[in-house]
Chain A
Amino acid sequence: DTAVSQTPKYLVTQMGNDKSIKCEQNLGHDTMYWYKQDSKKFLKIMFSYNNKELIINETVPNRFSPKSPDKAHLNLHINSLELGDSAVYFCASSPAIGTRPGYTFGSGTRLTVV
């Protein structure tokens, strides 16, 4: 049973399109995240959701919007895709605030915008 699962694993799309990446966790964690890994492997947090409330938004363009229908899911919607959006996107989850920190990552979605 995969703890944090993302779909799709690969996504190739044209500039200007709108796409979504899905993420689900079965760990019972309270907080979920989206990270972006650029071509130089640098990882940066994009969003954090705790109990369906957005609590971090790290100057990400508003073309990116996280959607969390419930505690176990955090989807990433991207509108009007640009070449610079090409990257690997990782979903992650962690347990409740104040507990010992532990983060579990999905296997990533490689997005290529052409």
Chain B
Amino acid sequence: GDSVTQMEGPVTLSEEAFLTINCTYTATGYPSLFWYVQYPGEGLQLLLKATKADDKGSNKGFEATYRKETTSFHLEKGSVQVSDSAVYFCALVPIGGGADGLTFGKGTHLIIQP
């Protein structure tokens, strides 16, 4: 079945550091890919998404590029802030989407220190 693998956390960085959170996937065909963020005590918020190969999703300074050849969707940010501390989830939905629901990775806890 479909699966998503994320780097294990927690990831601890200093403010203004460069961030990369790795995500690779296994799926049939060309799934849509997502990054969700969960701030402490809150629900899931869509951070960015990409629906076809070579698409780049971006939001709030975060970027991720859909790489079909490496089946990856790594999340990057050039300069992190303390407010970026959260749990980040990579997810996919199979081609056709809709009712199949999201398959999530296990989440990466990001801690940004001042």
Binding site for B on A (CB under 8 A): 30-31, 33, 35, 40-45, 48, 50, 55-56, 90, 92, 94-108
Contact = CB atoms under 8 A, between A and B. Distances in A.
A62 to B, nearest CB: 20
B74 interface: no
Contact of A50 (B44, B96, B99, B107): B99
Interface of B: 32, 34, 36, 38, 42-46, 49, 51, 87, 89, 93, 96-104, 106-107, 109
A52 B103 CA distance: 22
Nearest to B44: A105
Contact of B96 (A44, A45, A98): A98
Nearest to A107: B43
Contacts of A56: 99-101
Contacts, number: 78
B50 to A, nearest CB: 11
A96 B100 CA distance: 11
Counting from the closest, the 5 A-B pairs by CB-CB distance are A97-B98, A101-B97, A107-B43, A105-B44, A43-B104
Given A90-B43, A106-B43, A43 B89 contact: yes
A39 to B, nearest CB: 12
B107 A94 contact: no
Nearest to A40: B106
Nearest to A110: B41
A44 B105 CA distance: 10
B109 to A, nearest CB: 8
